[in-house]
């Protein structure tokens, strides 16, 4: 890999330099209490891009206080105007598409082509919820005994605490902010410490779009617990929404119990990818590349366990291996680069451990299977075959560019293996048999199914999982429900 060296492109320092690296509290950008900062790393070189404000618990509670003060007036804000703010923000994101994509690549590592795709995807949540803001409805009916009326209102749940991950630093933010703005909720946002710059840039865009002071507050911090726990335990917070790992999600749910917070959780995944003997193998390989290699495999929707029918396993494995071997690995800003670095040293070490564990238990490396060259956190695109059921990667999220393949003979074997996990976010199925497609889709224990396609993300569709993969749904018509309470008014005297 010869593209790992730090680029001298002046655009890189410009887009980083243009971001305000402070906290956004009550409409004002300010440093953290005590002036603390923490560094943001370029994962492709391990060099420091810049430093941003490191919030304290005092800063977090000030942000929550600002959200609480702004909540009544924001809830009363005309829905049409809330939607127009989102629409203007959508247009600004679109107009700054290239700079935002470059900023994301620098702090997260993904290739520019993928960053561009994420910016487009992220903007769509603002466009979608701009339209949903005016479609919040209720109900008015005659009571069954005819002696009164039943009035049902939908009202904003109140100040929402938001925690977003590093792997999709803008889309995971707009997927939460969009419905909250549309519903009339104020917010305190805590982005991942690895990728704060994209969220700070988004905060500037929303401010420019006319979002009132205190509606969106952003606290960046190296330690999530030091700023989140005080807010979670404060009775001014009424909702917590988190995207991230299942272990962290469990802790946050426990902490939320004291205040009985409304929670929505988009947690981990361990997606199976099923290829049946009647599948279009070329289409399945195309889908596998998308499902596995999107975001360098660092996605909760990533295909982690490939179950391929004996009749097509040899062809599928050969073609997938050829495709993986041909991928160009390097710094995300490089021409033609398709695979960037992993986010940090910890994530790289985890991928190494999982592959070494599988190989030690009998798996065979078809391609890859090792770290990449250079100073960044690179791991080579990898295909493993003969992965035993005892391998850790069958139970744990890989979050890296590794495709483990296991064969099966009978349909029930594939379904049982796919469901043999605590997770249930997404499953992928390739078959040309319509009846099998519907049968398998119904039997898979997952909140989403990719049927003959390797990408399920869609702003207009409900995103979320079952079992330990989460609570609630984001996106689609139901996405705004997570930010609304239902109030019943009994009307008498009629």
Which residues, 6 or more positions from 479, have their beta carbon under 8 angstroms from its beta carbon? 128, 129, 132, 175, 178, 179, 462, 463, 473
pLDDT band (50, 70, 90) for residue 373: confident
The pLDDT score that the predictor gives to residue 5 is: 43
pLDDT digits (tens, 9 = 90+) for 448-492: 999 999 999 999 999 999 999 999 999 999 999 999 999 999 999
Assign 8 a pLDDT band (cuts: 50, 70, 90). Answer: low
In degrees, rounded to 5, the angle at the alpha carbon of residue 182 between the alpha carbons of residues 177 and 185 is 70
The string of DSSP letters for 64-89 reads: HHHHHHHHHHHHTS-HHHHHHHHHHH
Q: Which one, of 177, 219, 40, 225, lies nearest residue 480 by Cα?
A: 177
Encode pLDDT of 225-239 as tens digits: 999 999 999 999 999
Q: CB count, 10 Å around CB of 7?
A: 16
Beta pairing partners, 167: none
- pLDDT category of residue 150 using cuts at 50, 70 and 90: very high
Residue 374's pLDDT band, with cuts at 50, 70 and 90, is confident
Q: Is the dihedral of CA 53, 56, 62, 68 positive or negative?
A: positive
Q: Is the pLDDT assigned to residue 64 strictly greater than 50?
A: yes
> Residue 294's closest CA among 401, 424, 198, 397?
401
User: Tokens 């902490």 label which residue?
Assistant: 255
Which CATH superfamily is 11-267+471-488 part of?
Aldehyde Dehydrogenase; Chain A, domain 1 (3.40.605.10)
User: Residue 7 pLDDT more than 60?
Assistant: no
| Residue boundaries of the structural domains of the chain | 11-267+471-488, 271-458
Specify whether 266 is catalytic.
yes
Residue 4 has pLDDT above 60, yes or no: no
159 pLDDT more than 80? yes
The confidence score (pLDDT) of residue 375 equals 86
DSSP code of 31?
P
- CA 125: distance to chain centroid? 13
pLDDT confidence bin for 334, thresholds 50/70/90:
very high
Q: Per 3-state DSSP, what percentage of the chain is helix, strand, and coil (rounded to 5)?
A: 45, 20, 35
pLDDT bucket at 1, cuts 50 / 70 / 90: very low
Instruction: Compute CA 106 distance to the chain's CA centroid, rounded to the nearest angstrom.
Output: 18
178: three-class secondary structure by DSSP? helix
**Does position 493 have pLDDT exceeding 90, yes or no?**
no
% of the chain at pLDDT higher than 90: 97
The yes or no reply on domain 271-458 and CATH 3.40.309.10 is yes
Helix 79-95 and helix 171-183, axial crossing angle in degrees, nearest 10: 160
User: Cβ distance 459 to 131 under 8 Å?
Assistant: no
Catalytic residue among 266, 298, 338, 366: 266
Output b/e per residue, 182-211; b: 16+ Cβ within 10 A: bbbbbbbbbbbbbbbbbbbbbbbbbbebeb
29: confidence class by pLDDT, cuts 50, 70, 90: very high
Q: Is 107 a residue whose pLDDT tops 80? A: yes
* Separation of alpha carbons 441 and 451, rounded Å: 8
Helix (H, G, I), strand (E, B) or coil at 473: coil
The average confidence (pLDDT) of the chain is: 96
Residue for token pair 């401010």: 207
């Amino acid at each position: 890999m010869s593209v790992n060296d730090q680029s001298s492109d002046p655009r890189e320092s410009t887009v980083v330099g243009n971001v305000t690296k402070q906290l956004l509290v009550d409409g004002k950008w300010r440093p953290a209490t005590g002036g603390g900062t923490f560094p943001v790393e370029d994962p492709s070189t391990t060099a420091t891009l810049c430093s941003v404000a490191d919030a304290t618990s005092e800063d977090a509670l000030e942000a929550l206080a600002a959200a609480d003060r702004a909540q009544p007036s924001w809830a009363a804000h005309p829905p049409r105007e809330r939607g127009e703010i989102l629409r203007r923000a959508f247009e600004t994101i679109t107009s700054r598409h290239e700079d935002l994509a470059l900023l994301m690549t620098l702090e997260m590592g993904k290739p520019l082509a993928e960053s561009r795709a994420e910016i487009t995807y992220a903007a769509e949540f603002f466009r979608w919820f701009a339209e949903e803001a005016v479609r919040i409805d209720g109900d008015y009916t005659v009571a069954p005994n005819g002696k009164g009326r039943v009035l049902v209102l939908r009202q904003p749940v109140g100040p929402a605490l938001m925690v977003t991950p590093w792997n999709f630093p803008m889309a995971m933010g707009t997927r939460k902010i969009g419905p909250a703005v549309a519903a009339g909720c104020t917010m305190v946002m805590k982005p991942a410490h690895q990728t704060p710059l994209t969220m700070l840039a988004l905060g500037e865009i929303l401010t420019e779009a006319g979002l009132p002071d205190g509606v969106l507050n952003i606290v960046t911090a190296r330690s999530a617990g030091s700023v989140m726990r005080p807010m979670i335990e404060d009775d001014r917070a009424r909702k917590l929404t988190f995207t991230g790992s299942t272990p962290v999600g469990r802790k946050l749910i426990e902490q939320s119990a004291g205040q009985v917070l409304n929670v929505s959780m988009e947690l981990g995944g361990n997606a199976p990818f099923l290829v049946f003997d009647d599948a279009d193998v070329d289409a399945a390989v195309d889908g596998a590349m998308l499902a596995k290699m999107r975001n360098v495999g660092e996605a909760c929707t990533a295909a982690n366990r490939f179950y391929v029918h004996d009749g097509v396993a040899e062809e599928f494995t050969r073609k997938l291996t050829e495709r993986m071997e041909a991928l160009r690995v390097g710094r995300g800003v490089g021409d033609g680069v398709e695979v960037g670095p992993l986010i940090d040293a910890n994530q790289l070490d985890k991928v190494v451990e999982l592959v070494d564990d599988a190989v030690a238990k009998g798996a065979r490396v078809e391609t890859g299977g090792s770290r990449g060259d250079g100073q960044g956190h690179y791991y080579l695109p990898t295909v493993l075959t003969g992965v035993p059921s005892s391998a850790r990667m069958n139970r744990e999220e890989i979050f890296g560019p590794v495709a483990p393949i296991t064969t099966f003979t009978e349909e029930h074997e594939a379904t049982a293996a796919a469901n043999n996990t605590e997770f249930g976010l997404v499953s992928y199925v390739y078959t040309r048999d319509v009846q099998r497609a519907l049968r398998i889709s119904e039997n898979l224990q997952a909140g989403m199914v990719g049927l003959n396609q390797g990408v399920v993300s869609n702003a207009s569709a409900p995103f979320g999982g079952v079992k330990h993969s989460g609570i609630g749904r984001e996106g689609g018509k139901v996405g705004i429900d997570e930010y609304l309470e239902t109030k019943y008014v009994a009307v008498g005297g009629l």
